[in-house]
Amino acid sequence: MHDWMMDGWGMGLGFVFWVAFLVLIVAAVVWFVRSQTPTSGGAERRSGGLNVLDERYARGEIDREEYLQKKRDLVD
């Protein structure tokens, strides 16, 4: 009976291993396809600087004129 319990755990761990392996393969394929596909709708990816600028403007750290000037500087 002791051997049966070890076989049962071994089968369970083997199953978990293969499920985790398949999930890893699928995740790698999805990541690869997304990295090779251009963004949808022709929209450009925003730089991190624009995101930070938007956050500073939303928090009120900079006024509208400064926001627009810095945005032009980043985009150009």
pLDDT in tens, 16-56: 899 999 999 999 999 999 888 766 554 455 678 899 999 99
Q: 42: helix, coil or strand?
A: helix
Phi, psi at 69, each rounded to 5°: -65, -45
Q: Could you tell me the pTM of the whole model? A: 0.41
Neighbouring CB atoms inside 10 A of 71's CB total 15
Residue 68 contacts residue 53 (beta carbons within 8 Å): no
Which residue in the block uniquely carries the two structure tokens 């392996």? 21
By residue count, the chain amounts to 76
